[in-house]
Structures are given as C-alpha cells and as structure tokens.
Amino acid sequence: MGLEDDNQRVRIREVRFRSAEFPVDPPILMAHGALTRRALALVELVTDGGVSGLGETWVNYPAWAVTERRATVEQGVAPLVTGQTLDLGADPSAAIAGLVRRVASRLAPLARQWGAPGPLQQALCGLEQALWDLAGKHAGRPVADLLGRCRDRVGVYASGLGPHGRGVDVAEQVRSCRAEGFTAAKLRLGVDRATDQRTLRSARDAAGDEFELLADANQGWDLEEALRMAPLLRECGVAWVEEPVAGDRVADLEEFHRRTGIPVATGENRYGPEAWDEALRSPAVAVLQPDVSKTTGLAALARLCGAASEAGKWVQPHLYGGAVALAATLQVAGARTGVTRVEFDVRANPARDDVVQEPFRRDGAQALLPTGPGLGVALKDGVLGLLGSHGDRP
C-alpha cells in the first residue's frame, strides 16, 4: 500500500468489517466455558488515496460475538466515520481522539439502552487502532515512533497454560516455556477445585525455583472459594492472581488481598475512567491489565501508564487475540516503559500466526516490536479477501 500525497488531510472513503474463525482442538478450558474457536475480527478503514488501516476488536466470547460486532461496526460505526476527513500531520493524536470521541458520543446513548457498553467499547477499540495504523502509514513510520519510542523490545510472559485435559499436560507446557526462554507463565484456574489444585501443583513441580508462576481465575471463584485456594497459591509461589473473585468488584478484591496478602491483577473487564481510577486507588491491585482491543485502545493505555507509575503499580496489558491486537499492544509498549510486561499466548493461535506475512519475533522473554509503518503488521496476500465480509473461514 502506498502513502497518501503530501497533503496532511485524509478522507475515509470506506469502513469494512472483516472476520474469520479457526477451530480449536482440543478446546481451551476456562472458568466461563471452553474456547472452541479462535476468532479474528478487524475494522478496516480505506482512504481516498487507497491506504488501508486495520484495527482488531475483541470477539472471543460469546460464540455470537462476531455477528454482534459486525452489526455494530457496519450499522453503527461506519455511517459516522465514512466521509470523515482527518488531519494526520505531525501530531495525529488529537484528530484520532476527536473522531473516536464523536462516534462514542453518538452511540453511547444506544449502548446504555441496549445494556452493551462493553461491545461498543470493543468496536471503538478496533476503530481507534485502525486510525493509528493509518496515521503511521501516512507518516511512513511505526506507531511507536508517533507516540515517542523509547525501546525496540519489551518483556513478555507466557499465557494460556493449563488446565489438564485432552491433549494438554500442564507440566509439559511449563517445561516447554522454560525451554523457549520464558521466565514466567500464567495458569488458567477457576475450573473446579480439584482441577485447579492439579494445575497448580503440576506447574510448580515443573517450574523450578527460578521460574515465576502467575494465575488467572477468570472470576471463576466466589470470595470464599478464592480464600480457600489462597494457601495453595502461596505454597506454589504464585506472584499475583488475576480476577480471583466473581464480579471483579474492588471491595471483594481488597477483602481477598487483606486476608491473604496475595497481590491482585485486574483490567481486562474494566470499562471507563471511573473503573480505572478505582483500581488505581486500591491497595489490593498491583497489576493493571488494559486491553487495546477490548477496554482502552492505544491512547488510553499510553495515558494509563503514567497514572500507574505514580500509583506504584505495574501495567501488563491483557492480550488474548489475533495479530493486529498484538502488534498494537507492542507499539504502545515500545513507547511507554510503564508497560513492564505483555501477555504472550503460547497456545496454537492461527488468528495471530497464520495470517501474517512475517511472524512476530521473540527472543526468549522479550518480544521485538514490528518495524513496518503503522502498527507494523502486514497480512498475507489475499487474506482480507479470504476473510471476506461474512465471517467466512479461510
């Protein structure tokens, strides 16, 4: 794709929604149900000059999320964005924020009546990523440069391990992660007590003393069950536990932390400034986990890093999606040292690995930033056509 001409203003000619689903076998067990497919859902913006910007919107759950998101993008977002002109000059952030804010203000009343602020925010995240991708391509530079690059690589931890199931052995997963140079891995808990206990003990036995274990309960425990699991979490040396209590209410997280001393991570299901402010103030929350395709987008993640640093908290973005979301997360991490680590899925993920021209590069526990313009990810020739406009599987 070529760049626009020297004019700093670009006009969005078309908004497209692209999607695909890839079967998962064996299914990935989680507290809220098995993940049986990997889904990739993209917002594509095309300018009058023929430049295309891509953004990813989170559609892991429910099974009909792709159908809902298509309707939101095509019937809600697209009419408000098509024909809009943006100034993508030296500092495109104001133009991007302004357009996203205008779309949000028009659709937010509908989302309130529908009871769907989450799906709307997820659609807006895809829009914002696509706008930043356009801005980087217009400038001929990676987005990290536009945000103020400070590094070319960022730490990652292995994610998606466990629990025991068909074709899955937690101990072998941990040994594989160690062999690949990871120094930390996150375990999926919240399935049932016996399974969670096996997962923790198997992982600890295989990890050794120098390998860090993290845990994600996916809100699968009530407070009493989380407290019952705490002695084993401590025994297995879990550094922090993500969403240990159903509902993810800060008051419950603080009660869990007060009675166990175990640090808490949260963020992938927090929407809006008030929810983030509450987490920033809480003594229980040690790790903030914004998601650029789900809860915050790029600019809000970048801003959150400063607030987290002042509050003495780590930012370790949530990431369990496809190629474009990973590229966007790495671009922000390359511009903000407040991102201390990024989640890196170690399960087979065709929505990330099979659709790109060049694989993401990782050196042990460090991921290298994509180097191309925009978000830096180029899909394989014909992939957008294969994805089609009706969610066809390639």
Distance CA(373)–CA(126), nearest Å, equals: 18
pLDDT in tens, 140-196: 999 999 999 999 999 999 999 987 655 578 999 999 999 999 999 999 999 999 999
Between the alpha carbon of residue 332 and those of residues 144, 154, 329, the distances in Å are 6, 10, 5
What is the pLDDT confidence band of residue 229, given thresholds at 50, 70 and 90? very high
Least Cα distance to 253 among 275, 223, 291, 296 occurs for: 223
Could you please report the per-residue DSSP string of 183-248? SEEEEE--S-HHHHHHHHHHHHHHH-TTSEEEEE-TT-S-HHHHHHHHHHHHHTTEEEEES-STT-
Which secondary-structure segment (H or E) carries 281? helix 273-281
Q: Residues 35, 39, 44, CA angle at the centre, nearest 5°? A: 160
Distance CA(347)–CA(109), nearest Å, equals: 38
Indicate the range of 31-40, 88-97, 348-357 predicted with least confidence: 31-40
Averaged pLDDT of the chain: 93
pLDDT of residue 388: 60
Structural domains for the chain: 9-141 (3.30.390.10), 146-368 (3.20.20.120)
Alpha helices, DSSP H, located in 30-157 = 65-71, 78-81, 93-114, 117-139, 143-147
Distance CA(186)–CA(209), nearest Å, equals: 16
pLDDT in tens, 66-77: 999 999 999 999
Distance CA(39)–CA(313), nearest Å, equals: 31
Assess whether pLDDT exceeds 60 at residue 3. no
Assess whether pLDDT exceeds 60 at residue 4. no
Say if CB 187 and CB 159 are below 8 A apart.
no
Backbone angles phi, psi at 328, to 5 degrees: -65, -40
pLDDT of residue 29: 80
Contacts for 9 with CB less than 8 Å, ≥ 6 apart: 85, 86, 87, 88
Assess whether pLDDT exceeds 70 at residue 348. yes
Instruction: Read off the pLDDT of each residue in 261-290 and give the average, rounded to a whole number.
Output: 97
| Cα 380 to the center of its chain, rounded Å | 22
Assess whether pLDDT exceeds 80 at residue 102. yes
Distance CA(304)–CA(315), nearest Å, equals: 8
Which one-letter DSSP state was computed for residue 349? -
